[in-house]
Chains A and B, each alone.
Chain A
């Protein structure tokens, strides 16, 4: 189809850059490995990449990481779903009702400038140790980008299309669901992409403070037992989860927004 030629050319021109990026990564790893082996630095301070890989592999094979990855993912999923949905609804409410915006806006902003992570000890006090405080922090962190982007997106609806809907006798609800929200979708999805990245940070840091399970808890435990290789292995897992989530969001965005893009 008409959209085909462009991706092919960009993919072709992206090849040398990708190869170079991979080579750079390998070179950095090799330098790290050499440094760790030659310098006589303790593995406590800087374990060699080979030691990290060994620790990662052992943890994965023995199933040690499984409950932790599951805990982090569920806190992240719960927080993202809850916070994202709440952000979407609040954004829609503020966009649809100028009165609600005037009343609620100061509090929403206030809640956002308060560092959520600083609230973690309080949440542990209220909700106990475990997944609940982590999910709550993650949710609070995801709330803002979605609310802000939904609000912005809904307020940017094209006036000519609004007039069309008015002339066609659309109800307010129809205008919101069939015009404003679909028009705001690109902006909302950009907010979601931001929220996904922030959610992972929120979940891991939340686990530092309030959880006995999860990759954040693994990092704290590894620090306590001075198993730096394990700490790095957990970091690798977190980075992989982040990358996968980000790519998944990008892919979903591209699929959903295909009709919005000009074919070239």
Chain B
């Protein structure tokens, strides 16, 4: 689809992450979305995520990052432009996607294991293999003994881990996360970030992670999109070594990147580094 002139700035600034030759895993091309009777929330965003990459969307509240995530999920459809996953238009959410929201949104009346299996049990009766997979995920996240408990018996960090296991149970190729760790304390959040990176790398999942925490974006992301007023105003590649370790947080390259992201968020237009 043709991209209108409002998006051309974002086009040149938000350089495609994947090389021009290979098609991106997730390709958001000139997406525009407005709720009826209001100014557009997302105004011509172009962004590409390569397979297996972790991209973070940062921006102030109300900049349109959650709406962009919902466009990527197929929960909203763009009024113009397109959202493609592996070359195909995203029309509706499906098993190819995993989600995590700001709150763990577990079902309090079901056991932890049944919460993890929810995406399966809404489609079909879970098999023994499904149970094994759920149990393995829980074990990997340090919750092996908690499968028969109810969510309210777990701590906030444990509940977030259950939500992560639930997001991963169908082995989705794309994981969409909307500030999932915002309510956790710093230490628990750091543990969950490591858990997330580890489990996603193992499954080669592609991740789009919305956050307003700059250090979180730098720690998790291979690439960071800075959003303001419905547009991508900054595109920052994170060149820290993988796998990340917590000690990196205190080293100069990490802090330099944080400062860079912050400067990009503060400036209306991206300042050249």
Residues of A bordering B, CB below 8 Å: 2, 158, 160-161, 163-170, 174, 178-179, 182, 185, 258-263
Q: What is the distance, in angstroms, from A154's C-beta to the closest C-beta of chain B?
A: 15
Contact flag A169-B109 (CB < 8 Å), given A260-B152, A263-B152: no
Return the contact of B93 from the options A2, A169, A185, A258 (Cβ within 8 A). Answer: A169
Return the contact of A262 from the options B110, B118, B152 (Cβ within 8 A). Answer: B152
- Stretch binding the partner chain, chosen from B95-103, B206-214, B236-244: B95-103
Q: What is the distance, in angstroms, from A170's C-beta to the closest C-beta of chain B?
A: 5
Q: What is the distance, in angstroms, from A220's C-beta to the closest C-beta of chain B?
A: 46
- B204 at interface by CB-CB < 8 Å: no
Contact residues in B for A158 (Cβ distance below 8 Å): 105
* Inter-chain contact B97/A160, CB cutoff 8 Å: no
Task: Report the Cα distance A167→B119, complex, angstroms.
Answer: 9
Return the contact of A261 from the options B93, B101, B152 (Cβ within 8 A). Answer: B152
Task: Report the Cα distance A169→B120, complex, angstroms.
Answer: 11
- Which residues 86-118 in B have Cβ within 8 Å of A in the complex? 92-95, 97, 99, 101-103, 105, 107-110, 118
Residue of A nearest to B97 (CB): A167
Listed residue (A158, A161, A185) with the most chain B CB atoms within 10 angstroms of its CB: A161
* Inter-chain contact B152/A166, CB cutoff 8 Å: no
Q: Given A259-B150, A260-B108, output 9 extra A-B contacts at Cβ < 8 Å.
A: A160-B101, A164-B105, A167-B73, A167-B97, A178-B107, A178-B122, A182-B109, A259-B109, A259-B151
- B140 at interface by CB-CB < 8 Å: no
* Inter-chain contact A166/B93, CB cutoff 8 Å: yes
- B202 at interface by CB-CB < 8 Å: no
Contact residues in B for A165 (Cβ distance below 8 Å): 122
* Inter-chain contact A259/B102, CB cutoff 8 Å: no
* Inter-chain contact A263/B153, CB cutoff 8 Å: yes
Q: Kindly list the 5 A-B residue pairs having the minimum CB-CB distance in the complex, ordered from nearest.
A: A259-B150, A167-B93, A182-B109, A170-B122, A259-B109
Q: What is the distance, in angstroms, from A163's C-beta to the closest C-beta of chain B?
A: 7
Contact residues in A for B246 (Cβ distance below 8 Å): none
Q: What is the distance, in angstroms, from B116's C-beta to the closest C-beta of chain A?
A: 13
Contact residues in A for B92 (Cβ distance below 8 Å): 169
Q: What is the distance, in angstroms, from A79's C-beta to the closest C-beta of chain B?
A: 29
Q: What is the distance, in angstroms, from B80's C-beta to the closest C-beta of chain A?
A: 23
Contact flag A259-B93 (CB < 8 Å), given A164-B101, A170-B122: no
Task: Report the Cα distance A99→B122, complex, angstroms.
Answer: 28
Contact residues in B for A170 (Cβ distance below 8 Å): 122
Residue of B nearest to A185 (CB): B109
Task: Report the Cα distance A174→B153, complex, angstroms.
Answer: 26
Contact flag A2-B105 (CB < 8 Å), given A168-B93, A168-B118, A168-B122: no
* Inter-chain contact A169/B123, CB cutoff 8 Å: yes
Task: Report the Cα distance A262→B109, complex, angstroms.
Answer: 12
Residue of B nearest to A164 (CB): B105
9 residue pairs of the A-B complex, CB under 8 angstroms, read A160-B105, A164-B99, A166-B75, A168-B118, A169-B94, A178-B122, A179-B107, A259-B152, A261-B152
Listed residue (A2, A168, A185) with the most chain B CB atoms within 10 angstroms of its CB: A168
Contact residues in A for B105 (Cβ distance below 8 Å): 158, 160-161, 164
Residue of B nearest to A171 (CB): B122
Task: Report the Cα distance A174→B121, complex, angstroms.
Answer: 10
Contact residues in A for B123 (Cβ distance below 8 Å): 169
Contact residues in A for B101 (Cβ distance below 8 Å): 160, 163-164
Contact residues in B for A260 (Cβ distance below 8 Å): 108-109, 152
Contact residues in B for A179 (Cβ distance below 8 Å): 107
- Which residues 152-167 in B have Cβ within 8 Å of A in the complex? 152-153
Contact flag A259-B99 (CB < 8 Å), given A169-B94, A170-B122: no
Contact flag A259-B108 (CB < 8 Å), given A166-B75, A167-B99, A169-B94: yes
Contact flag A169-B122 (CB < 8 Å), given A182-B109, A259-B108, A263-B152: yes
Return the contact of B107 from the options A161, A167, A169 (Cβ within 8 A). Answer: A161
Contact residues in A for B109 (Cβ distance below 8 Å): 182, 185, 259-260
Q: What is the distance, in angstroms, from B118's C-beta to the closest C-beta of chain A?
A: 7
* Inter-chain contact B75/A160, CB cutoff 8 Å: no
Q: What is the distance, in angstroms, from A259's C-beta to the closest C-beta of chain B?
A: 4
Task: Report the Cα distance A169→B151, complex, angstroms.
Answer: 23
Task: Report the Cα distance A164→B102, complex, angstroms.
Answer: 11
* Inter-chain contact B102/A160, CB cutoff 8 Å: yes
Residue of A nearest to B176 (CB): A167
